[in-house]
Structure 1
Amino acid sequence: MEEKKTDWKTILGMTLIFAILMLTFVYNQEEEPPVDQKAETVQIEDDVATVPAVEQPVDTVQDSTTTFQKQSSVGEEIMLSNQLLDLKFNTKGGYITEAHLKKFHTYDSLPVYLAKKNDHVFDLILTAKDGRKIHTKDLIFTPTETTNGANKVLTLKAPVGSGSIEYRFEMEPDDYMLDFNIKSEGIANAINTSDNAVIDWQMKAYRRSQSMSNENRYTEIKFEYDGGSDDYTGQGENADEEEENVSYVAYKQHFFSSILLTDTPFVSGLMKSKNIESINENQDTFTKEFESQLQLEYTGGELAYNMDWYFGPTDFAILDEYGRNLDEVVDLGWGIFGWINEFAIRPAFTFFTVDLGIAYGLAIILLTICVRLVLSPVLYKSYLTQAKMKILRPELNRIAEKYKDNAMKKQQETMKVQSESGASPLSGCLPALLQMPVFFALFKFFPTAFDLRQKSFLWANDLSSYDAIYTFSDGFKIPFYGDHISLFPILASISIFFYMQMTTGQTMQTPQPGMPNMKFIMYLSPLFMLVFFNNYASGLSLYYFISNLITIGIMLVIKNFIIDKDRVLAKIEKAKSKPKKKKGLFATKMASIMEQAQAQQEAQKKGK
């Protein structure tokens, strides 16, 4: 099994952005493609993994015990439809050959198909007693259409030896979930039931969004195993995962998913993903190719599996209603990031958009304001420490100059002044660290929020994709940037530039020894955001733009109306004059270590 790869660009980008912001803080304290013949004839590359095919169809194949029919007919097409789905089946193979979602369209107004023609294959592989492989995708099934109340039922049966394999599909009037059962009858005399049957499910994921790279970033296989654990294949060019007791496999195509669930867990599952978009940049039809090999065990010499098949949107609200842990298919983040999104961010956003009926762009702005207000007490502590540090700057500069040849002594004196004035850098860093979970949670929320799909705001036609104001002609593309210019990332970059100028401008002229060039970082951070977010969801860039504006506003209010320099100086002098509290164990230990290091340093100088 290959090692799972994650989206390293996303991880690197978020790490660098947060690192730059933290460094700045510390420094200052010191759908479906066009339906045409060309698109429908795109072939998979030669190295795509496929299940070995049976021999070329002939009338019959005989051995000493059993005759298996293998027809070359193209089969008959049968349609099942409800208010949400059009599903097309073929009697050759008995599986779904086309899945059309009625209520949705691609970015260029074409229908959304989760399965179409030869890009979706479902094959049940049985092992005959003589070792041959029987592929149900090559068998002709006999259809029977009935009803079960308001539900439509399609039964497909194919002969296997003297017995049969039966697929049963039941569709409710208003549901994306399809009941699907596999049952065999009388096959034990022809099939080696000591070898597990294998489902081979293959699907190619279509491009449906304006930004193919952004869509591909959230396209992957997710699956559940061992009674509730979940995992994913990741973003590698070729990735695979294998687990036992698999209860569902989801082919997530960003905002749409095909999910196969089973009441009786599959014995094991091998899930494979091939990143077509990254391997072949010359095509713009497919993002990834998926394949799963799921083992089914026999009970009493027969197969009996009750399953479900979901074809629909990757919408947290819809998936959560099924109560089968399908909400995990939506990537809200792991651990605390996911909890913040599930129990705070998502309910608040739903309240604004659904309960109050506010437009989605305005809802993002309101959500941003609420987040900043909730974090304002934490921010105030950071800004207060920052203000104290700036007031102490002249004294700290004098210490730096006085002990410029003795780094240890300089550090001791600096810490002493900070401690006496109540302006310890750690007291300001902690509030900044408390914001980190919210920062990453929102980074996960906006790109995966189904409600933002194809919702417009100002010049952005789709808040789930980039907001291009200009597209380069003749296929011209700037490396790492793209083939277009997005406006919201530009505004976010400008706002973060002014924020950093406000927080670093007073200290850039006197950089401290050993510290990085903050003027360089002040230009690097906005540039990085400009490039990194050019292809991301415009809703995310809108959030950062508004968040930066609010942060600048809060800083101006605190600076001009809340923090009184004279009062802060008075508090510092008062703190200095107070009797010194007994140091804690950690502080005492640190002081002891520094004193020992100072003594060793002086001893070394004398020895010279």
Structure 2
Amino acid sequence: MDRNQAIGLVLIAGILIVYSLVFRPPSPEEAIVSGADTTAVVTPEENQQLVDNTQAETTQPANQDSLLNSKYGAFASAMSGNEETFTVETEKAKYNFSTKGGAIKSVELKEYKTHLKEPLILFDESSNSQQLQIGTTNGIVDLASLNYKANKGTLSISEGDSTTIAFVATLADGSSVEQSYTIFNDKYDLDYSIKLNGLENKVLTNDMTIVWEDNMKRFEHNLEDARNKTTVRYYTLEEDSDNLKEIANDPQSETVGEGVKWASFSQKFFNAGIIADKGFSSATFATIPVADSSHVEIGKMELIVPMSDLYSGADFTYYFGPNSYKVLKKVTDGYEDNVYMGYKLVSWVNKLIIVPLFSFLEQHIANYGVIIIIIVLIIKLALFPLSRKSYLSMAKMKVLKPELDALKEKTGGDMQAQQQEQMKLYREMGVNPISGCVPLLLQMPFLFAMFFFFPNSIELRGESFLWAHDLSTYDVLINLPFTIPFYGSHVSGFTLLMTLSTLAITWSNNQVSSVQGPMKNIGYFMPVIFMFVLNSYSAGLSFYYFVSNLVTFGQQTLIRRFVDEDKIREQLMENKKKAGTKGKSKFQQRLEDAMKASQEAQRQKQNKKKK
């Protein structure tokens, strides 16, 4: 190496040393302090991992699209997307919608609260699911799983107005699924329609199946009563209303092959239902008991809709609201059957008399206890002629008691002879022994009608009176530290008062009754039995019966003051004198002929036994 080469190497070494000192990269600590960028050192293994991840990210969308296409075919393009939710609010409800499925996800009824004073959400995603199943070349597709674009309309509706929410799921080839909801400010029902555009060649089945399942929430204090009045109810195109068995410990199911107009998940005071303008071609319903105390029952329905309706546009109505008879009556034919008004023999009393009267009174009176009292007074006043006739009949039988006792001794225990003599006495005295029963029978429909009206009247829900906090359920005067079988762990004050007043009326009636022996005391057992039965029933019902008893007692006292038993006896004796000049009536003749035929049949039977 010559001198020049040595000098060159020294200069190069110096430059490298200076460069390394001046331009060296900072340590991690220095980078954090100064905020400078750091350059990571990647090992060969880490570099390979980065390459694999990059390739996976590149191929994942392609693989996902391939999977969607193989599973959903023409509907694959509408299976992905971002979900958006929004709320439409009216004066009666809040409806929560989602673009995922283009469906209602939850409904809150603003005018009502649960028994815990919480917002009453009739259903939500955690308790409710609905599918719209159609058969395609790629299998079953649920239209409620598509992603839709929403035309939201007006989200807050003013008084008297309505708004329409439209959802459209457009497929890759331009065909589409349209759903729309028209929501009214002053109604609990909303119009719903669904239409398939350009999908005729992609759908293989002739029907769409609406699969709706609702794990119905608990809203009432009395869980057992709520479960006993929860079911799936439906109404056929033949105008026949029916439902699955309400009080059942086992799952219930039923298939209806004929057309169905509407179906609902019906609870004691609320229901969620769907009505088809053209009807469902068939349906299957089911209920399943639940042990969870926060729910009352699981309801399921499968409703069949012809695809031909969907291609032209199928129209439906949803109802989410209270079981108010006057409200449901306006929804559609038979929908008021969600409020049970009793058997046909007594339901007419509620539908034609009590409901209109109750509605009129609540428009002018705010206190429902006072309304019940007024209803009692009106009914008792209207039925007073029947009550008076019944009491007079009992008074006549009391006047005849000495003669009846004499006949009993005369016949010596021969029942047939005694009955024959009694009928002769009744004919001579002009007394009809069943005339006192007829007025009571005519009053019975009103008595039983109340047994169904008050427990099912949502108007009483949450309304307090005296010590009762809620007239729609039982009142609690005393909480017991133990449970009495068939009675409960509480004492209902109104039921107790009803029992005591009924016992007083029974005693009063026995004072003018001709009935003797054990039959006379049976009347004292019935009020006690009803005390056990009604202890957990509606406080409004027990209060009605209590007030009714007080008015009845007052009526009997008033009638007794104007009834002179001596005059009644004089009238009966006068009738006996005139009886000799009168022939038997056709009814009396038929009655005597029937008694003689009965006596003859018994004699022949006894003769055969002797032989």
TM-score, with normalisation over the residues of structure 2?
Answer: 0.81
Whole-angstrom CA distance in 1 between matches of 2:557 and 2:498: 18
Q: For 2:111 and 2:71, how far apart are their aligned partners in 1?
A: 51
Residues 596 and 193 of structure 1, relative CA distance in 2, 3 Å threshold: closer
CA distance in 2, matches of 1:173, 1:345: 29
Alignment of 1:20-99 (within 5 A): 59-60=67-68, 62=70, 68=76, 75-99=83-107
The 3 A distance-change label for structure 1 pair 454 and 147 is closer
Deviations 1:487-530 (A, max 9, x none): 1000001111111122236769941xxxx5442x2342121111
User: Alignment partner for residue 493 of structure 2, among 463, 487, 504?
Assistant: 487
Confirm or deny: 8 A CA contact 1:59 1:70 kept in the other structure: no
Question: Mapping of 1:80-229 within 5 angstroms?
Answer: 80-129=88-137, 132-147=139-154, 151-158=162-169, 162=173, 163-194=175-206, 196-226=207-237, 228-229=239-240
- In the alignment, the residues of structure 2 paired with residue 74 and residue 555 of structure 1 have an alpha-carbon distance, to the nearest angstrom, of 75
Matches within 5 A, 1:261-340: 261-276=275-290, 280=291, 283-299=292-308, 302=311, 304-322=313-331, 324-340=333-349
Kept in 2, the 8 Å contact 1:193–1:301? The answer is no
Equivalent AA in structure 2 for residue 565 of structure 1: E
CA distance in structure 2 between the partners assigned to 1:241 and 1:186 by the alignment: 35
User: Structure 2 CA distance, aligned partners of 1:441 and 1:57?
Assistant: 63
State the match for 2:554 in structure 1. 553
Q: Structure 1: which amino acid aligns with 2:567?
A: R
Paired AA for residue 268 in structure 2: H
CA deviations 1:197-240 (Å, max 9, x no partner) are: 11111112222122222333333333222153322223142334
The verdict on how the C-alpha distance between 1:303 and 1:469 changes in structure 2, with shifts beyond 3 A counting, is: farther
Aligned to 1:497: 503
Give the Cα separation in 2 of the matches to 1:64 and 1:491.
67
**How far is 1:249 from its partner?**
1.6
Secondary structure class of the residue paired with 1:477: strand
- The whole-number CA distance in structure 1 between the counterparts of 2:93 and 2:448 is 35
Which range moves more in the overlay, 357-366 or 248-257?
Answer: 248-257
Equivalent residue for 1:359? Answer: 367
Which has the higher relative contact order, 1 or 2, with Cα contacts under 8 A spaced 6 or more apart?
Answer: 1
| SS of residue in 1 equivalent to 2:483 | coil
1:348 paired residue number: 357
Judged with a 3 Å threshold, the aligned counterparts in structure 2 of structure 1 residues 323 and 128 are, in CA distance, closer, same or farther, namely closer
SS in 1 for 2:186: coil
Moved more, 168-177 or 370-379: 168-177
Corresponding residue SS for 1:114: strand
Distance 1:396 1:504 in 2: 17
Q: Which amino acid aligns with 2:530?
A: M
RMSD: 3.0
Kindly name which structure, 1 or 2, has the bigger radius of gyration based on alpha carbons: 2
Residue range with higher mean Cα deviation, 419-428 or 456-465: 419-428
SS of aligned partner of 2:469? coil
Question: Are the aligned partners of 2:397 and 2:513 in contact in 1 as well (CA < 8 Å)?
Answer: no
Deviation of 1:388 after TM superposition, in Å, equals 1.0
Tell me how far 1:295 sits from its aligned partner. 0.6
Cα 1:57–1:472 change in 2 (3 A) is: farther
- Residue ranges of structure 1 left out of the alignment (5+ in a row): 1-55
Within the candidate set 420, 423, 429, 1:421 is matched to 429
Identity of aligned residues (%): 29
| Contact 2:394 2:514 (8 Å CA) reproduced | no
For the residue of structure 2 that corresponds to 1:331, the secondary structure is: coil
- CA–CA separation in structure 1 for the residues paired with 2:309 and 2:548: 63
Match of 1:234 in 2: 245
Is the CA contact 2:365–2:371 (under 8 Å) kept in the aligned structure 1? Answer: no
Query: Number of paired residues?
Result: 537
1:154 Cα offset (Å): 2.4
Residues 1:508 and 1:72: Cα distance change in structure 2 (over 3 Å): farther
- Once the two structures are TM-superposed, the CA of residue 190 in structure 1 deviates from its matched residue by 1.9
Aligned-partner residue type, residue 184 of structure 1 = L
Choose between structure 1 and 2: higher helix proportion.
2
Residue from 385, 389, 398 that aligns with 2:393: 385
CA separation of 1:303 and 1:339: change in aligned 2, threshold 3 A: same
Matched position secondary structure for 1:542: helix
Amino acid at match of 1:488: F
Judged with a 3 Å threshold, the aligned counterparts in structure 2 of structure 1 residues 441 and 523 are, in CA distance, closer, same or farther, namely: same
Matches of 1:58 and 1:537, distance apart in 2: 61
Bigger Cα displacement from structure 2, 166-175 vs 525-534: 166-175
How many angstroms does 1:178 deviate by?
1.6
Following superposition, the deviation at residue 540 of structure 1 comes to 0.5
- What amino acid sits opposite 2:499 in the alignment? S
Q: 1:70 to 1:487 in 2, by over 3 A?
A: same
For 1:448-470, what per-residue CA distance to the aligned partner results, in whole angstroms no more than 9, with x for missing partners?
22221111111111111111122
Alpha-carbon shift at residue 115 of structure 1 (Å): 0.8
Q: Give 1:365's aligned amino acid.
A: I
**What is the alpha-carbon distance in structure 1 between the residues aligned to residue 374 and residue 506 of structure 2?**
24
TM-score (norm 1): 0.81
| 1:146–1:554 CA distance, 2 compared to 1 (3 A) | closer
- Local SS of the residue matching 1:572: helix
